[in-house]
Amino acid sequence: MRINSSVVRGIAMIAVLSGLLAPAADAAASPIELAMRAELEELRLEAPDDAGAAGAEPGARNVTRSKAFLRSLLVPGWGQHYAGNKTRSKIFLGVEAAIWTSFIVFKARETLRTDEFEEFAGAYADVDPAGKDEEYYRILTIFNSSDEYNTAVRADARAIYGTQASEAKSRYIADNSYSGDREYRWQSNDRRLDYRIIRNDARDSGQRADFSLVAAVLNHAISAVEAAKSTGRMGTIQDAVGHLEVIPPAAHEAPRLRFAWRTSF
């Protein structure tokens, strides 16, 4: 129970006037007098300093939910530390460290495996990596040679433009066929399948790195709201809502992510 300094002084004055605080040896004091002295001493220690802010709680810091929110939005766990919750601060910081460690590992693996499948294609399919895009490397996983791929392109042209020759049909075939430095041929079907495994691993590592970034965004948002809540004054924080939507990519596309965060004070 908190009692202000004027109340403490009043109790002390009453005790003095009643003789309870008269100098006397503890041995001669009654149990009631000893209990009263102990209570007055406790109240004196708990009383706020007159120099402090009026109405402020003893030992209270100027902790605000907005400062806690913004700190954890910047660095997860910082707002919890500011609000005095050291345990939760360590948890959010630990999660953040784990997320970024995962991101670094996955990006490093993606780079390593990308270099590996490009070198593999050059060694076993006679591919020149200069100027080759992601779509070209995807085609290598499907067809054993550029001739086989070109046959598929001509079949697509017939399906689109019919069996009769036309300028549009010829242009489609010319634009999509592989020739010159884009020609390739796998030494065997097994080599192509080995290449697919390496390339898929590189692609999966890249997607995991992207999802690590999403996890980092979520960790910042959750930490920020929890830090504001940990101040014990969440009554005016409304509509703190996070929404995450992940759109599955097509076979040759990187994942597209949408993240919306709304908050008001």
Q: Is 43 in the same domain as 71? A: no
Closest CA to 256 of 198, 207, 199: 207
pLDDT at 63: 80
Closest CA to 142 of 73, 195, 104, 204: 195
pLDDT at 187: 96
39: in domain: yes
Q: Is 201 in the same domain as 82? A: yes
Give how many domains the chain has, as a whole number. 2
Q: Which amino acid is at 75?
A: V
Place of tokens 């592989």: 178
249: in domain: no
243, β-bridge pairs: 260
pLDDT at 216: 96
Q: Is 14 in the same domain as 140? A: no
Provide the domain limits for residue 47.
Answer: 5-60
Q: Is 217 in the same domain as 124? A: yes
- Domain boundary (30, 60, 90) is at 60
Q: Is 127 in the same domain as 216? A: yes
Which residues neighbour 221 within 8 Å (Cβ) at sequence distance 6 or greater?
A: 73, 242, 261
Which residues in the chain come in under a pLDDT of 70?
1-61, 232-265
In this structure, what DSSP letter does residue 145 have? B
CA distance 137 to 147: 15
Decide: 257 and 246 in contact? Cβ < 8 Å.
yes
Query: What is the dihedral sign for C-alpha 134, 198, 180, 170?
Result: negative
pLDDT, one tens digit per residue, over 145-187 is: 999 999 999 999 999 998 888 899 999 999 999 999 999 999 9
CA distance 86 to 227: 11
Q: Is 130 in the same domain as 190? A: yes
Q: Is 21 in the same domain as 132? A: no
Q: Is 227 in the same domain as 96? A: yes
211: in domain: yes
pLDDT at 64: 87
Q: Is 31 in the same domain as 130? A: no
Q: Which amino acid is at 209?
A: A
239: in domain: no
Burial code (b: 16+ CB inside 10 Å, e: under 16) for 149-165 equals bbeebeeebeeebeeee
Q: Is 35 in the same domain as 123? A: no
pLDDT, one tens digit per residue, over 16-38 is: 444 434 444 444 555 555 555 65
pLDDT at 157: 93
Q: Is 81 in the same domain as 48? A: no
Decide: 141 and 117 in contact? Cβ < 8 Å.
no
Q: Is 109 in the same domain as 55? A: no
3-class DSSP state of 233: coil
153: in domain: no
Task: Give φ, ψ of 179 to 5 degrees.
Answer: -150, 170
14: in domain: yes
Here the tokens at position 198 are 């390496």
Radius of gyration of the chain (CA): 36
Residue 223 CB-density burial (10 A; 0-12 exposed, 13-18 middle, 19+ buried): buried
Closest CA to 216 of 126, 99, 80: 99
220: in domain: yes
176: in domain: no
